[in-house]
Amino acid sequence: MKMGVMGAIHRAPCAAALPLRHVRARPIRCSSSSGHVSFIKDIAVANPPEHLDELLKVLRTRGDTIVSPGSRQGIIPLAIPLSENSSGAVTALLRWPTAPSGMEMPVVEVRKHGVWLLGKNVDQYIHRLLVEEEAHHLEENNGELYDASSEAGKKLYQRGDFAESNITNLDSYLLSKVGLFPDVLEHKVTQHFEQGDHVSALVTGEFYAKKDLFPGFGRPFVFNAEIMLKVGRISEAKDSARVALKSPWWTLGCAYEAVASIAQWEDEQIEYIKEKITEEGKQEDLKKGKAPAQIALDEAAFLLDLASIEGTWAGSLERIADCYKEGGLDEIARFILYRD
């Protein structure tokens, strides 16, 4: 929990423990999914998604290059890279430092200031890719991605269902049959505006920003703030932007400054968290009765926020790992430091 100009800030949804120092474990090979599975089990200390192998095959079939999970230089240290496309965009799994029991690792695209949510889990993302392949190649019927997904694809999607559903709009099919996706919802809102239907745009934006739909992610509130700004509801835009900044700043889907501007904040929030991680700030929290472990975990979250502003992570890694160790999350500390 983090308190400040905005009030309580909810951090990532819990993990376990072992010893540390700069981790240079045996490099993880990844000519197949076994390298990623080993990395997730042994380094990230998490349960590998059941259909990770099928996702990697689908990504390779669509033209991506599969990359080592330990190839994490220059990216947010919570990401586990899977593949890179021809434009240089990296698809990854997100290893929340702490997560509720049963929460699966989301699939994300790595960006300069953090991550963009692609799917709440591997199965949902595979399902989406198969539907999109069919929708974009209705006449060709080649199904390369479907074939690459093997048994997982058959389990997740009945081939031909999009064409037979009589739902002609791909976005509508995805939202009703596959799941909720930030970019799809945002595209829906944009279409409503283009059609002059401001009521539907506002309703969809409000639905998108329901707090339980994308737990831990600030992006829905950022977009809702942008909608409110667009229709001239400045006060509501400000409020939504401030709610967004209660989430990790690396989940905003854009630069911190853009959201802070809508929130009508200058540098006060940055200065606030910088003060919180000083010795004086930590002593003040101790006097208020906060547990030392929680203070350390808060500092790790603050440091990730600060690093996301410029998208430069390397300079903070050692201290972030130390904070997780002090907070009792030795395994997360080891994961944070691991590089090929």
Residue 305 lies in a domain: yes
Distance CA 269, CA 290 (A): 21
Residue 29 lies in a domain: no
How many domains does the chain divide into? 1
Residue 54 lies in a domain: yes
Angle between helices 234-244 and 219-230 (to 10 degrees): 170
Distance CA 125, CA 122 (A): 5
pTM of the model: 0.89
Q: Which of 94, 61, 60 is nearest to 75 (CA)?
A: 94
Q: For residue 32, what pLDDT is reported?
A: 56
Going residue by residue through the chain, which has 340 residues, state the pLDDT in tens, using 9 for 90 and above: 343 433 334 444 433 333 333 433 333 444 456 799 999 999 999 999 999 999 999 999 999 999 999 999 999 999 999 999 999 999 999 999 987 777 899 999 999 999 999 999 999 999 999 999 999 876 666 789 999 999 999 999 999 999 899 898 999 999 999 999 999 999 999 999 999 999 999 999 999 998 789 999 999 999 999 999 999 999 999 999 999 999 999 999 999 999 999 999 989 899 999 999 999 999 999 999 999 999 999 999 999 999 999 999 999 999 999 999 999 999 999 999 998 8
Residue 163 lies in a domain: no
Q: For residue 212, what pLDDT is reported?
A: 85
Q: Print the domain residue range for 229.
A: 34-120+180-337
Name 115's bridge partners: 110
Distances (CA, A) of 206 to 116, 228, 312: 19, 10, 32
Distance CA 58, CA 128 (A): 11
